[in-house]
Amino acid sequence: MSRPVAAVLAALTACLCCPLQCAAAAAARGQQLNYRPVIGVLAQENLPGDQFAHGTSYIAASYVKFLEEAGARVVPVRINCTEEEYAKIFSTINGLLLPGGNVDIQTSQFSRAARILYNLALKANDAGDYFPIWGTCQGFQQLTVLTANKNLLTLTNTKAVALPLTFTAAAQSSRLFRSFPKDVLQSLAEENITSNFHSWSLSLQNYSRNSKLKRFYKVLSTNNDGKKEFISTMEAYRYPFYAVQWHPEKTTYEWVDKPGMVHTPSAIRACFYTASFFVSEAMKNHHHFSSPAEEEKALIYNFSPVFRGMNAIFLQNYYFD
C-alpha cells in the first residue's frame, strides 16, 4: 500500500463504528431518530426494447432491496407528476434515491422530476429540515447537472469493469466513509470490487474547472480508465447529498454474467455499509404520511417485480403506469 493511501485509511478508520451504531450514538446524545424511514426511489422511462415493460416507467428492484437490507421501506416516485404532487410526496418521504439507468439527464421526465425534488431538498435543508439524497451512476450524473446547471460529462472506457477506489485526502473528513470498518475501506482501496457500468463520467478536470461543482461537492474518491481521471464518489459540503458513479447494489442483487460484476464477501460488505449509511441519514428526517392507511397505500409492497431473465442487466423491474 502506498503511503498516501495508508495515511488516508488510517485517518478514515479513526471511527470504526457502523453507520447505524453512529446513528444510535446520535440518539443517545439526544438527537431523535426515525426508526421507520421511508425512502423514495425515482422511476424513469422504460428502457427501449424491454419486452417485459408495461406502463410508462420502471424501477430496478435491486435499488429497492439495497435500501430494504439496511432497514428502510421504499415508496416509488413516479414520473409525470405535477409539482404539487411532488411537493406532497416530498413531505412524506425521509430521503430520495436517484438510481442508475439510461435516460437523458437534461430532457427526460426523470430529469424533470429529479430537478423538482432536488430544489425541494435544498429549500428544506436550508430551513433546518434534514433531507438526504443519494445518486448512483445515472443518479450521480443527474446531480452534477442539477448543481452545475449544465452537462459536464465526458466519455470514459468504463462500461463493464470493476475497480478499486482511489481515496482522496478529503475522504478523511467525509460523513460517508468515516463510519466504514477498516477492512471494508482497505478492500475498497485495494480490490477490484466497485462495479462500473457507465459510458459517461465527470472528469476531475471538468469538476475542477466548474466553480459551482467545486463549491458544492467534496470529492471522496476518483478512478482512472487509463486515459482520464474521473470522480467515483462525492458528497456535498453543506447538504446531506451523496453520489457514487459505481454500483454497490449490483454486488448483492444483480447476476448477469458480465465483466465488472463482483460477488466477493468484501464487495458484499461494502454494499451493506453503503446502504446502511444512507438509511442512517434518512433516520434523521421526520417527514411522515397523514395516516397509516396513506403510508400503506404508497409503499412498493403494493407492486410485484417482474423477473426479466438471468441475462438481463436488471434481474427484476417494477413497472408503473
Rounded to an integer, what distance in angstroms lies between the CA atom of residue 169 and that of residue 15? Answer: 16
pLDDT of 3: 44
Q: Is 287 a catalytic residue?
A: no
Q: How large a percentage of the chain has pLDDT more than 70? A: 91
pLDDT of 7: 61
Tell me the average pLDDT across 194-215: 97
Q: Is 247 a catalytic residue?
A: yes
Tell me the average pLDDT across 295-302: 98
Q: Where are the domains of the chain?
A: 3-320
- pLDDT of 12 above 90: no
| 45 grid coordinates | 422511462
Q: Which of 18, 137, 198, 271 is catalytic?
A: 137
Strand-strand pairing, 217-224 and 166-167: antiparallel
Rounded to an integer, what distance in angstroms lies between the CA atom of residue 2 and that of residue 318? Answer: 44
Block residue for cell numbers 468515516: 178
DSSP string, 116-162: HHHHHHHHHHHTT----EEEETHHHHHHHHHHHSS---EEEEEEEEE
Phi, psi of 13 (to 5 degrees): -90, 15
pLDDT of 165: 98
Q: Which of 18, 247, 271, 287 is catalytic?
A: 247
pLDDT of 2: 42
- pLDDT of 223 above 80: yes
Tell me the average pLDDT across 38-59: 95
pTM of structure: 0.92
pLDDT tens digits for range 94-151:
999 999 999 999 999 999 999 999 999 999 999 999 999 999 999 999 999 999 999 9
The secondary structure element, H or E, covering residue 184 is helix 182-190
Does the domain formed by 3-320 have CATH 3.40.640.10?
no
Q: For the CA atoms of the chain, what is the radius of gyration?
A: 18
pLDDT tens digits for range 225-269:
999 999 999 999 999 999 999 999 999 999 999 999 999 999 999
pLDDT of 153: 97
